[in-house]
Amino acid sequence: MGYDGQIEIVASPQEYNYRNKVRLFVNDEGLGYKERESNKICPVTHCEIANNLINNAILYINEFIKNNNLQNSIDSIVIRCEGQNALINFFVKRKDICNYQGIYLVLGENWGIYETYKNKMYHKLGINKLETDDFNLKLEYGVNTFHQVNPYVERMLYKKVIESVTTKSVVNCYSGAGLLSVFLAKAGKNVEAIELGEDEHSEAERLKDKNNIKNLKNYQGDCQIVLPKLDCKDKTIIVDPPRNGISKEVISFLNECGARKIIYISCNSASLVRDIAILRNYKIVKVYLFDMFARTGEYECLCLLSPIND
Ligand SMILES: C[S@@+](CC[C@H](N)C(=O)[O-])C[C@H]1O[C@@H](n2cnc3c(N)ncnc32)[C@H](O)[C@@H]1O
């Protein structure tokens, strides 16, 4: 499917220190990022695009790992921060091998420490969630659930999506922890949202309840199974799939479901182009590129599609 319209580029208000979540791997030298498409770990003591709270902590966590000879006991760590608070999750190879008291004292009471062993997560010390009153909503973030990593661009992306939904009813597929669904509901839309992840679904339900939202229904399940059970005729369908894109079965359903508009959000243009090429009953009407991952070669694409005969 061709597109000869303009592509609007939306810059990130913050080019550096925007990233609110990082995953770092551990080897003999301490913490590092994996090289692109490789398992080689490059040592990291500072990351230009990570939030300063994360950067300050990397130094101390590196010392904690090395001073306690934990290089072979910890596989990786995930840090997520929100305002002045942060959570860290240690993915360990052996359970209860680390005593986190020392690192907790160094990081401070605004931190929470989790340990994950064989896919099970245990809260160890400090705060257990990140809470904020942003956007006039009571928001809550866990350490592992999916959220956009650049909060400045996230706001602009969601604002543009909400502006683009012209129907009263909307189906939000691959809806994550539910922030966009709640914004859409607050904007007066009737929202149905589908998310596979158990943790993301639970977080989305808590978000809905905490904010007393009535016009939103969150379904937990695979879009391939749940979406065909919903009536999508004349509604707007939002899809924001993982990097590998949308399954052929979901695309076939989208082609035939009679949706008024499809809004495709993607962080991988290769799968986006592949999927849109077979979304034959829809045509591209507008494309935006959001610089979600500023100072890297990646970006978030927002693609608005209308029925081919419109
Ligand atoms: C790129 S994220 C988008 C999340 C959300 N739209 C947001 O802006 O935060 C993709 C989400 O799709 C979920 N997911 C992956 N495969 C899925 C499937 N087959 N059906 C439903 N959700 C799925 C993931 O758990 C993840 O939360």
Tens digits of pLDDT across the chain (310 residues): 578 888 999 999 999 999 999 999 999 999 999 999 999 999 999 999 999 999 999 999 999 999 999 999 999 999 999 999 999 999 999 988 889 999 999 999 999 999 999 999 999 999 999 999 877 899 999 999 999 999 999 999 999 999 999 999 999 999 999 999 999 999 999 999 999 999 999 999 999 999 999 999 999 999 999 999 999 999 999 999 999 999 999 999 999 999 999 999 999 999 999 999 999 999 999 999 999 999 999 999 999 999 999 8
* Length of the chain as a residue count: 310
128 and 168 part of one domain: no
* pLDDT score, position 195: 98
Atom of ligand 1 nearest to the CA of 147: 9
Determine the distance separating the centroid of ligand 1 and the alpha carbon of 175, expressed in angstroms.
5
Assess whether the C-beta atom of 223 lies below 6 angstroms from ligand 1.
Answer: yes
Assess whether the C-beta atom of 154 lies below 6 angstroms from ligand 1.
Answer: no
**Which DSSP symbol is given to 243?**
T
Determine the distance separating the centroid of ligand 1 and the alpha carbon of 262, expressed in angstroms.
16
* pLDDT score, position 3: 80
Query: What is the residue type of 278?
Result: I
Atom of ligand 1 nearest to the CA of 243: 1
Q: Give bridge partners of residue 42 from the DSSP assignment.
A: 33
Determine if the pTM surpasses 0.85: yes
Assess whether the C-beta atom of 194 lies below 6 angstroms from ligand 1.
Answer: yes
Assess whether the C-beta atom of 218 lies below 6 angstroms from ligand 1.
Answer: no
91 and 161 part of one domain: no
Assess whether the C-beta atom of 151 lies below 6 angstroms from ligand 1.
Answer: no
Determine the distance separating the centroid of ligand 1 and the alpha carbon of 160, expressed in angstroms.
19
183 and 298 part of one domain: yes
| C-beta atoms surrounding 43 within 10 Å | 13
* pLDDT score, position 199: 94
Assess whether the C-beta atom of 288 lies below 6 angstroms from ligand 1.
Answer: no
Assess whether the C-beta atom of 146 lies below 6 angstroms from ligand 1.
Answer: yes
Residue 278 · residue 259 · CB < 8 Å: no
Give the separation between CA 85 and CA 104, rounded to whole angstroms.
Answer: 13
29 and 102 part of one domain: yes
Supply 254's token pair: 């989208």
104 and 188 part of one domain: no
177 and 66 part of one domain: no
Out of 106, 132, 158, pick the residue that ends a domain: 132
Q: Give bridge partners of residue 104 from the DSSP assignment.
A: none
Assess whether the C-beta atom of 141 lies below 6 angstroms from ligand 1.
Answer: no
- Dmax (CA) of the chain: 66
Determine the distance separating the centroid of ligand 1 and the alpha carbon of 202, expressed in angstroms.
13
* pLDDT score, position 307: 97
CA–CA distances in Å: residue 56 to residues 17, 27, 208: 12, 20, 34
Specify if 141 maps to a domain.
Answer: no
114 and 168 part of one domain: no
47 and 93 part of one domain: yes
Assess whether the C-beta atom of 300 lies below 6 angstroms from ligand 1.
Answer: no
Specify if 142 maps to a domain.
Answer: no
Determine the distance separating the centroid of ligand 1 and the alpha carbon of 237, expressed in angstroms.
14
Range of the domain at 50: 21-132
The residue whose CB lies within 8 Å of the most ligand 1 atoms, and thus the one to mutate among 144, 196, 244, is 196
Assess whether the C-beta atom of 198 lies below 6 angstroms from ligand 1.
Answer: no
* pLDDT score, position 1: 59
